[in-house]
Amino acid sequence: MPETVHTDGPLTNFVLSFPRQQGVARLVAPELPVKKQSDTYDIVDAERTKQRIHSAVRAKGTPARLVDWLTSSDTFYCKDHALDHIIPDEDVDNADESLVEEVDAQECAVGLRDMLDLEYENDVATVLHDTTTFTLTAAAGYVFTNASSDPIAYMRTASQAIKDASGVWPNVAIIPEEIIRALQDHADIRARVNYTNAEQVNAQFLANLFRVQEILVPDIVENTAAEGQTAALADIWGTTITLARIDRRPMKRTYTAIRTFVWDRPKRAIKGWRVTQEYLSRNEGTRVRVGWHRDIKAVGANLVYNLTGCLS
């Protein structure tokens, strides 16, 4: 009988792979297709003349009071964001059955799209958290794990600040998963459900409590370590709660905090996205490229409030 009856090899029905992450960027900064890479958009009545009370009493035989309001404009420029991956012929010919997806051009394109989406998520968070643009911001008096903290009061203060600055209430709160878990355990929050189980303190309950239409719960991480080093994962949305007025409706006139202008090139892209592949003789491999042109634009500076330092 032979000494060895089995040689170890890779399983064909099990591969450990990090799951695709679900972000909130497209819900926060809705995409707007545009026909040109750069253009302008109009802003009507930035000085809010229509919200002033104008005395409209007119004496008989006299003209009515004349009113007018100004229009202005701003610009956008959709930069190209693209990634390449080369699949060497040697890898195609040598791949084990368990890893055939890694040398498949279509599967590689999906992976590149995931990486571009991760960059997009980070860029949207960066724009929203920029306090030089969105100046309504404050630090929580205490982290939410401290019994002295008062998250309900903090959120009401934040909502009122947006209302005072813009004339409208926020309708969306972006609360990272880690902060949601702290809120579930907070005595002031639990008291609203008579100290029953924490699972009742869900996103819908918190939306009602904080008086917003929707709570978005991002739970998406990035690897901050240098290439070749042990992964160091960090939450992209950090420890900040963001309140905002977001309008996703496809309407010409809108009042919203942030928009993503996407250059839609019908002959070269589908909904702004382009996927190309090309055989490179000098590399003896296939280059796969995925890309899109976009500009994440803060369009409503008074429609965002950032509550920082919610956790340590």
Extents of the domains making up the chain: 25-47+67-308
Long-range pairs, 179-186, Cβ under 8 A, ≥24: 179/144, 179/239, 179/241, 179/310, 179/311, 180/206, 180/217, 182/143, 182/144, 182/145, 182/310, 182/311, 183/144, 183/151, 185/145, 186/144, 186/149, 186/151
CA 256 – CA 312 distance, rounded (Å): 31
The three state secondary structure string of 189-202 is: HHHCCCCCCHHHCC
CA 296 – CA 78 distance, rounded (Å): 8
Show pLDDT as tens, one digit a residue, over the chain (312 residues): 567 788 888 898 898 888 888 899 999 999 999 999 999 999 998 888 898 999 999 999 999 999 999 999 999 999 999 999 999 999 999 988 888 888 899 999 999 999 999 999 999 999 999 999 999 999 999 999 999 999 999 999 999 999 999 999 999 999 999 999 999 999 999 888 875 566 778 899 999 999 999 999 998 999 999 999 999 999 999 999 999 999 998 889 999 999 999 999 878 888 899 999 999 999 999 999 999 999 999 999 999 999 999 999
Residue 224: count of CB within 10 angstroms of its CB: 10
Measured between alpha carbons, how far is residue 244 from residues 34, 168, 241 in Å? Answer: 24, 10, 10
Do residues 242 and 306 touch, judged by C-beta distance below 8 A? Answer: yes
Write down the pLDDT at residue 1: 58
Tokens of 310: 């919610």
Residue 200: count of CB within 10 angstroms of its CB: 13
Tokens of 197: 């189980």
CA 309 – CA 312 distance, rounded (Å): 6
Beta pairing partners, 173: 215, 243
- Cβ contacts of 54 within 8 Å, gap of 6 or more: 65, 67
Among residues 140, 165, 205, 121, the alpha carbon closest in space to that of 304 is found at 165
Do residues 219 and 181 touch, judged by C-beta distance below 8 A? Answer: no
Residue 87: count of CB within 10 angstroms of its CB: 21
Do residues 113 and 26 touch, judged by C-beta distance below 8 A? Answer: no
**Residue 114: alpha-carbon gap to chain centroid:** 14
251 burial type by CB count under 10 A (0-12 exposed, 13-18 middle, 19+ buried): exposed
Handedness of CA 207, 211, 216, 221 (dihedral sign): negative
Topology (CATH) of 25-47+67-308: phage-related protein like fold (3.90.1690)
Write down the pLDDT at residue 193: 82
- Tokens 């902060």 sit at which residue? 179
CA 77 – CA 6 distance, rounded (Å): 60
Write down the pLDDT at residue 198: 62
